[in-house]
């Protein structure tokens, strides 16, 4: 069964998956994988996603440059789906994943996985209030993994006979440090 999706330039269906044209990316920048009950799963060029430049667009204004994260994204891709909403004009606005989107752009990735959640039928003010509260909850709950947890995970890799070279490569750490784990 095909579900119609209104995009900025054309109607896409879950089974035909034509691409959209956006002002930020080439014509084949967004492909619909599937759609159901207002949700869409997309493969999108990260340049086709709007990340926001002011507090009215995204609560995270300070993006801390993280070369290790950028290197990981360049080598392994984006591991966690980016969540977004479509605005009234069809623009896909990142709701959770600004740093992942920016890293994917920096890495030159052609596509990332995006889950577009349905918008409530709120007026603009109410929708913005909900977005801000949601982004605050999401970002405040994130915490870095502790050093003890990192060491325990690395120990599990050693027990699984993962080589120091592979650990060093995957973790972007000096081989000398990875060898100390063995």
- Whether residue 3 is predicted with pLDDT greater than 80 in this model: the reply is no
Domain shared by 30 and 109, yes or no: yes
pLDDT tier at 44, thresholds 50, 70, 90? very high
Structural domain range at position 28: 4-141
Pair (32, 112) in one structural domain: yes
Instruction: Give pTM, 2 decimals.
Output: 0.69
Number of residues written out for the chain: 182
81 and 137 both lie in a single domain: yes
Tell me the per-residue pLDDT of 115-173, one tens digit each, with 9 for 90 and over: 999 877 667 778 777 877 887 787 777 767 788 888 888 888 999 899 999 999 888 88
Chain segment 72-118, per-residue pLDDT in tens: 899 999 999 999 988 878 889 898 888 899 999 999 999 999 999 98
Quote the Cα angle for 100-104-40, to 5°: 70
Are 164 and 133 in the same domain?
A: no
- Give counts: helices (H), strands (E), the chain: 6, 8
- Domain check: are 95 and 130 in the same one? yes
H helix or E strand, kind and range, residue 107: helix 98-107
Q: Are residues 103 and 69 located together in one domain of the fold?
A: yes
The tokens describing 54, both together, are 């002011």
Domain count, the chain: 2
pLDDT of residue 25: 57
Residue 42: closest CA among 110, 115, 129: 115
Query: CA 167, 172, 177, 181: dihedral to nearest 10 degrees?
Result: -30
Greater confidence, 23 or 160?
Answer: 160
Per-residue pLDDT band at 8 (split at 50, 70, 90):
very low
142 or 66, which is more confident:
66
Per-residue model confidence (pLDDT) at position 17: 33
Do 25 and 109 fall into the same domain? Answer: yes
Quick one: pLDDT at residue 120? 74
Token pair in block for residue 149? 């947890």
Q: Are 46 and 86 contained in the same domain? A: yes
Higher pLDDT, 67 or 5: 67
- Residues 167 and 78 reside in one and the same domain: no
């Amino acid at each position: 069964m095909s579900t119609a999706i209104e995009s900025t330039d054309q109607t896409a269906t879950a089974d035909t998956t034509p691409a959209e044209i956006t002002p930020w990316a080439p014509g084949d920048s967004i492909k619909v994988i599937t759609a159901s009950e207002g949700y869409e799963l997309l493969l999108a060029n990260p340049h086709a996603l709007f990340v926001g430049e002011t507090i009215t667009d995204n609560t995270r204004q300070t993006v801390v440059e993280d070369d290790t994260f950028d290197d990981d994204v360049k080598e392994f891709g984006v591991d966690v789906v980016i969540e977004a909403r479509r605005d009234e004009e069809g623009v896909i606005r990142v709701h959770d994943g600004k740093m992942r989107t920016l890293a994917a752009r920096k890495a030159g990735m052609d596509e990332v996985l995006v889950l577009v959640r349905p918008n409530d039928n709120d007026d603009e003010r109410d929708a913005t209030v909900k977005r801000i509260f949601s982004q605050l909850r999401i970002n405040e709950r994130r915490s870095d993994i502790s050093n003890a947890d990192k060491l325990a995970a690395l120990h599990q890799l050693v027990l699984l006979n993962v080589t120091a070279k592979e650990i060093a490569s995957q973790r972007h750490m000096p081989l000398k440090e990875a060898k100390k784990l063995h």
